[in-house]
Amino acid sequence: MNTIELDNQYVMGTYARFPVVFARGRGCFVYDTEGREYLDCIAGLAVNGLGHCHPKVVEAICRQAGVLMHTSNLYHTLPQPKLAKLLVEASGMSKAFFANSGAEANECAIKIARKAAKASGHPEKTEIITAELSFHGRTLATITATGQPKYSEPFAPLPPDFKYVPFNDVEALRRTAGPKTCAILLEPVLGESGVYPATSEFLSTARKLCDEYGAALILDEVQTGLGRTGKLFGFQHYDVVPDMITLAKTLANGFPAGACLARGAWGDVLVPGDHGSTFGGNPLACAAAIACVTEIIEGGWVDNSREVGAYFAERLRTLPGIKEVRAMGLMIGADLAEPNARQVVMEALGKGLVLNATGDHTLRFVPPLIITRELVDKAIGIMSYEL
């Protein structure tokens, strides 16, 4: 049996995979089992910020793997507080909890908001407001937080007290928030739904409402965090400071890792026994994340994301089949004139370009933060045949 047959027979069919088997990667390129080269404009769905097999991350993983991989969170280990300090100082938050994925990072933030409300003597304060078309993960709480019923309905009954407002609808947010609100959970830029940045007014209204009702403003920076939008964190584009930020994706450049960062008293809500994770924050994941985050900050890759992202968006706007381009750094959504995004993705794959469609009309580009203008030109050259 070949790899695809093995996959089909033994792996649960939760993914509609493309008919390609990737065998290795280097920088902005991946290679299939036949040795064909592909320019990667997805970066593992906004994960490989430093590209594939970045030498500093590989070195950190190999070194740590030979020293200590895992001990459980019953004990102190060296890399975890070091990573916490790095993230806390870079974000202006106060404390970190480490998980293994974006969904788990969001679960932690949700638990903090719910517990803080109860602990303040308000057991009725349980509501969490999120946006329609958002995406927050696949656990039961996070599919419920995700404002897209198609992900949650098959799994009902769902955790109660999630409320939804149309993204960027300030009036709906004002109408929905109240004394029962314990958190507003938002992406600074809707990612899975095709790259729609929040307006300043929407985020600052969320901030004001959280202050008014003593609720937590949680920004899901799982996709926007760590340089993707041309700033280290997406919230830094806005005049808003969140109470919690969640991270995953680029955090360890492909090694599974997630984090919930919390500011001030929010960082002290959870006490021993409240929350935990067997693997979360283990030495191997943290060593990979320290190497990755340090390189993103010190290597100038946030600036590269902003500059090359603007160039990529500008080149996309010149393609005839593209109607609208929305971009923040290297998080770019392009709406096509025709509903043929999936076909464009298939054809591009055949020509050595890995792209992503978030719907029939929309392509999403989240390439490695290290991509160059020359590689953008190469991608545009390939797409010129399709569009």
Candidates 125-133, 161-169, 217-225, 282-290 — which segment interacts with ligand PLP by CB under 6 A? 217-225
Q: In whole angstroms, how close is the CB of 235 to ligand PLP at the nearest point?
A: 13
Tokens of 292: 């990755």
- On the CB side of 34, how many CA atoms lie within 13 Å of its CA? 8
Residue in the structure block whose two tokens are 């098959």: 154
- By Cβ distance, which residue is nearest to ligand PLP? 102
What sign does the dihedral 307-313-317-320 (CA atoms) show? positive
Positions 337 through 356 that interact with ligand PLP (CB under 6 A): none
Of 135-174, binders to ligand PLP (CB under 6 A) are: 135-137
Rounded to whole angstroms, how far apart are CA atoms 362 and 356?
9
Query: In whole angstroms, how close is the CB of 221 to ligand PLP at the nearest point?
Result: 8
> Least distance in Å: CB of 137 to ligand PLP?
4
- CB of 324: closest distance to ligand PLP in angstroms? 21
Which of 112, 375 has the CB closer to ligand PLP?
112
| E strand spans, 72-171 | 95-99, 127-131, 162-165
- Phi then psi for 143, rounded to 5 degrees? -70, -30
By beta-carbon proximity to ligand PLP, the closer residue of 213 and 309 is 309
223 makes contact with ligand PLP (CB under 6 A)? yes
Q: Min. distance of Cβ 176 from ligand PLP in angstroms? A: 20
- Minimum CB separation from ligand PLP for residue 196, in Å? 12
One-letter amino acid at 131 equals A
Amino acid identity of residue 42, one-letter, is: I
Of 64 and 250, CB closest to ligand PLP: 250
131 near ligand PLP (CB under 6 A): no
List the interface residues with ligand PLP, window 52-111 (CB under 6 A): 101-103, 106
Give percent helix, percent strand, percent coil of the chain, each to the nearest 5: 40, 20, 40
Residues 31-60 that bind ligand PLP (CB under 6 A): 45
- The answer to whether 251 and 259 have CB atoms below 8 angstroms apart is yes
Q: How many residues bind ligand PLP (CB under 6 A)?
A: 15
Q: Please identify, using beta-carbon distances, which residue of 191 and 367 lies nearer to ligand PLP.
A: 191
126/246 with CB nearer ligand PLP: 246
Q: Does 243 bind ligand PLP (CB under 6 A)?
A: no
Phi-psi map region of 133: left, alpha, beta (phi>0 left; psi -120 to 50 alpha): left
Per-residue CA distances from 380 to 241, 292, 318, 376 (Å): 37, 28, 9, 6
Closer CB to ligand PLP, residue 77 or residue 101? 101
List the one residue from 40, 107, 220, 243 that touches ligand PLP (CB under 6 A).
Answer: 220
Q: Which helix (H) or strand (E) holds 24?
A: strand 22-26
Rounded Cα distance, 321 and 316, in Å: 9
- Exactly one of 107, 187, 243, 295 binds ligand PLP (CB under 6 A); that residue is 187
Q: Is 183 left (phi over 0), alpha (psi -120 to 50) or beta?
A: beta
Distance CA 218, CA 186 (A): 6
237 binds ligand PLP (CB under 6 A): no
CA-atom Rg of the chain in angstroms = 21
Cα–Cα distance for residue pair 19/220, rounded to 1 Å:
32
Instruction: Give least dist CB 49 to ligand PLP, A.
Output: 14
Cα separation of 103 and 110, whole Å? 10
Stretch that binds ligand PLP, among 8-16, 48-56, 184-192, 331-339 (CB under 6 A): 184-192
Does position 248 interact with ligand PLP (CB under 6 A)? The reply is: yes
Residues forming the site for ligand PLP (CB under 6 A): 45, 101-103, 106, 135-137, 187, 191-192, 220, 222-223, 248
